[in-house]
Amino acid sequence: MAAPFTQPRGAQVAAQPLTAQPWFKASQRALGRDWPTAYVFVLPTVLLLFGLVGYPFVRGLILSFYNAVGIRTGAFVGLDNYIALWADDFFIRAVWTTAQFTFWSVVFKFCLGISTALLLHNIPRWGSVLGGLILLPFIIPEVVRALAWRVLLDPIFGALNYMLVKVFHVLPVGIAWLGEQNTALPSVIMVNVWAGLPFFIILCTAGLKAVDAEQYDAAAVDGANSWRRFLHVTLPGMRYVIIVATLLSTILTFNNFGLTYLLTGGGPGGATRVYTILAYEYAITGLRYGSGAAVAMTTAPVMFILILFLGRYMMQRSDVAQSSADDGFLSNVGRGLLAPFRQKYVGWALGHVLLNLAIALVWWLRGEGGVSINLIIALNVAVAILFNFWLIHDTIESLIVSAARAVRPPGSAPMFSRGTGRGINFTVLYALLGVVLLFELLPFYFIVVTAFKSTLQIQQIQNMFWPSPWTMEHFRYMIFEKPFLTWYRNTIVVAVISTTISVLAAALGGYALARLKWRGAGGMSTAVLIAYLMPPALLMIPLYYILVQLKLTNTLMALMVTYPSAILPFATWLMMGYYRSIPEELEDAAMIDGCGRFGAFFRVVLPLVRPALLAVTMFAITNAWNEFLYAFSFLRSSENFTLSVGLQGMIIGDVQPWGELMASCLMTALPVVIIYMLGQRFMVAGLTAGSVKG
């Protein structure tokens, strides 16, 4: 009888599958069940985020401690750059201007956004159509927004002065809205509100749809009127949306560069020079990289606090009751910062303390003339009213109810029948919505009519509101006499390549973060959120410095490699939300049938998230098409310009060829508008993803 064949012990170990190896099981316990697959999926995202966001931020921070002039880094100066800034009148004024610009812009966007969202939510029909029209200013390129308002506010040829002086006879003579110090900043704030209002409206509208209708019915049964239902049902139900929208709008407004620069260039006399423009002037124009980086990095603590608060809400999960220990870094820090304000009297006292510290800071920055005693008293009264809102509200409401009962005793016949009353209410709603729609769409009308006017019609103001006759001369001039088609080609090439890189990396990285189990997923998700909220103004200077050293400035490659820094984090965040909506059982079933993790991803998951990929692609292309700051900073020669930089370069001093500019704006905005019309449903869903639910 033959002896049984036995393998050597080493051969048995070698024959075991990789997943059965003891060292692999130990690595799974340490790094997570899916760590090999997760690392492969997330590697492109990690490399891009580190190379385009992490390293430039650290490089900019280091640069701010050196006397860096030109491409050479000089001696280490420690905090001297920062100390010099607080003795710099230009910097102090820029900080004060930025604070005013941000505060008033966000206040107006908040009030008008909620009001308009309520109007859209309560009208019986045409709500989606009107909402889509209102969103147009948000999606068009920034250069188009700015030029549209520049032609409207022009002191000589502008439609606003024409209407106020010659149509309504409100003013005796026109005003240089963007050319006078007392009107420039309010005008820029108005344009910023116009551009950012659609974002607030679309988020608040989505938030209203998420409020349970049964809560309104229950409140009505309990006798609550419309105002009480708004205070006790609508606002609490929209709390998450309101906080996210307000904080996100604050971050975006605080770091605004393109719109303000395109409108005024920071003038007149520095009246609209926000900190981002000052950083650009110091670093890019003046080649003082150390001082410019210090200007940008001085705002980093403010941004960090805002990101903490915003991350606290964007990373929470409404469907999972988590303990404080499991909420993550941003959640715990945000909760700790907010905790004192939850106590009524402690919050009231802290509110006054913080307010007066802010007043003292402004007093120090601006001198005694910066803050008046009346303003200090008014602000403290405002804080007192805020923390005693309900007591004051109930008192005023009781007085109003008493006065109404005295005029119309209970049991009196109604003034209008039910049908007539509803008709009046809807008429008022549509009229108010029409005013908002007119405000949002009026610049587009003047883009169109100005583009088809002849140069003589524009100069002689023959007919402000209609071309007579219509002409295509400006379109022919831009296409055949200017390098407009070259700018168009450059924009398409940059948009397609940067979008392809960002979408591929986001599709892989978002899946790893949302689906796979591996140690570090939570920290990486936090890093994606921070990168998403990282202002481009903080990265612009170090990126420019790095590109100069790599000799990539004034090339399209500079834009192709830097645009994903803004597109990738947002795309990854959106994809994470979409992946979480897919049942995991579908992947489990595919893997039981023999698919590996990669097979399940490509054969099952990707086909299910095609709408998400379409939305992300649309946003990426739109973002790349509209971008101005990086293109304006990195490009110098006309043959490499994108559309936004080319249009801005057509304005030389006071020479503003409005016909050519409006024709160019029309051709520049057209692809974005077409993309929006074709994919409006997906883009709106993308805008509201993560804003209604945690």
Q: Which residues pair with 652 in a beta bridge?
A: 655
Q: Which of 519, 578, 394 is nearest to 28 (CA)?
A: 519
Burial environment of residue 53 by CB neighbours within 10 A (0 to 12, 13 to 18, 19 or more)? buried
Decide: 333 and 311 in contact? Cβ < 8 Å.
no
In-domain check, residue 91 = no
Is the domain of 365 the same as that of 496?
no
In-domain check, residue 546 = yes
Decide: 478 and 484 in contact? Cβ < 8 Å.
yes
pLDDT at 327 exceeding the cut of 50: no
Decide: 273 and 266 in contact? Cβ < 8 Å.
yes
Q: Is 446 helix (H, G, I), strand (E, B) or coil?
A: helix
Burial environment of residue 343 by CB neighbours within 10 A (0 to 12, 13 to 18, 19 or more)? exposed
Is the domain of 492 the same as that of 377?
no
pLDDT at 68 exceeding the cut of 50: yes
Calpha distance 116→554 (Å, rounded): 43
Helix, strand, coil share of the chain (percent; to 5): 75, 0, 25
CB within 8 Å of 521: residues ≥ 6 apart: 32, 38, 512, 513
DSSP string, 96-115: HHHHHHHHHHHHHHHHHHHH
- Asked which of 116-130, 166-180, 437-451, 662-676 is least confident by mean pLDDT, the reply is 116-130
In-domain check, residue 559 = yes
Is the domain of 491 the same as that of 368?
no
Is the domain of 501 the same as that of 604?
yes
Is the domain of 543 the same as that of 396?
no
Q: For the segment 451-489, what is each residue's pLDDT rounded down to a tens digit?
A: 999 999 998 888 889 998 899 999 999 999 999 999 999
Is the domain of 630 the same as that of 488?
yes
Residue 328 gets the label, from left (phi > 0), alpha (psi -120 to 50) or beta, of left
421's tokens: 């009353």
pLDDT at 388 exceeding the cut of 80: no
Rg (C-alpha) for the chain, rounded Å, is 29
Strands 66-69 and 72-76: antiparallel
Is the domain of 575 the same as that of 489?
yes
In-domain check, residue 550 = yes
pLDDT at 278 exceeding the cut of 60: yes
Q: What is the mean pLDDT of residues 610-619?
A: 84
What confidence tier does 651 reach under pLDDT thresholds 50, 70, 90? confident
In-domain check, residue 48 = yes
**pLDDT value, residue 391:** 67
CB within 8 Å of 566: residues ≥ 6 apart: 536, 623, 627
Calpha distance 232→292 (Å, rounded): 47
Helix H or strand E encompassing 33 = none
Count other C-beta atoms under 10 Å from residue 293's C-beta.
Answer: 28
In-domain check, residue 203 = no
Specify the residue for token string 């019915």.
217
Total of domains in the chain: 2
Helix H or strand E encompassing 193 = helix 181-210
Is the domain of 549 the same as that of 638?
yes
Q: What is the mean pLDDT of residues 636-662?
A: 89
DSSP string, 548-577: HHHT-TTSHHHHHHHTHHHHHHHHHHHHHH
| Position with higher pLDDT, 615 vs 670 | 670
**pLDDT value, residue 130:** 82
Q: Which of 587, 579, 589 is nearest to 612 (CA)?
A: 579
Exposure class string for 656-675: b at 16+ Cβ within 10 A, else e: bbbbbbbbbbbbbbebbeeb
Q: What is the mean pLDDT of residues 55-80?
A: 89
pLDDT at 266 exceeding the cut of 60: yes
Residue spans of alpha helices (H) in 211-285: 213-221, 226-229, 235-237, 239-254, 258-264, 275-280
Is the domain of 392 the same as that of 497?
no
In angstroms, the Cα distances linking 620 to 6, 506, 569, 674 are 61, 11, 11, 15
Say which CATH number the domain at 531 has.
1.10.3720.10
Establish whether the linkage from the previous residue to 268 is cis, with ω within 30° of 0: yes
Calpha distance 234→238 (Å, rounded): 6
Q: Which of 147, 539, 102 is nearest to 547 (CA)?
A: 539
pLDDT at 688 exceeding the cut of 70: no
| Position with higher pLDDT, 129 vs 572 | 572
Calpha distance 467→453 (Å, rounded): 5
321's tokens: 């009751």
DSSP class of residue 640 equals: G
Is the domain of 397 the same as that of 538?
no
Q: What is the mean pLDDT of residues 583-590?
A: 85
pLDDT at 686 exceeding the cut of 70: no
pLDDT at 530 exceeding the cut of 80: yes
What is the reported pTM? 0.84
Identify the domain boundary among 354, 376, 406.
406
In-domain check, residue 280 = no
Identify the domain boundary among 385, 406, 427.
406
Q: Which of 612, 608, 588, 617 is nearest to 496 (CA)?
A: 617
In-domain check, residue 249 = no
- At how many degrees (to 10) do helices 564-580 and 610-626 cross? 160
Calpha distance 300→71 (Å, rounded): 24
Q: For the segment 130-158, what is each residue's pLDDT rounded down to a tens digit?
A: 878 888 888 889 999 999 999 999 998 89
Calpha distance 537→281 (Å, rounded): 12
pLDDT at 596 exceeding the cut of 90: no
Is the domain of 395 the same as that of 518?
no
| Position with higher pLDDT, 285 vs 312 | 285
Mean confidence (pLDDT) of the chain: 82
**pLDDT value, residue 635:** 94
What confidence tier does 448 reach under pLDDT thresholds 50, 70, 90? very high
Helix H or strand E encompassing 68 = strand 66-69
The amino acid that residue 268 corresponds to is P
Q: Which residues pair with 288 in a beta bridge?
A: 69
Q: What is the mean pLDDT of residues 361-380?
A: 56
Is the domain of 529 the same as that of 390?
no
Which domain, by its residues, includes 621?
A: 32-63+483-649
CB within 8 Å of 97: residues ≥ 6 apart: 185, 270, 271, 272, 273, 274
Specify the residue for token string 């168009």.
488
Calpha distance 308→159 (Å, rounded): 43
Three-state DSSP string of 603-629: HHHHHHCHHHHHHHHHHHHHHHHHCCH
Q: Is 72 helix (H, G, I), strand (E, B) or coil?
A: strand
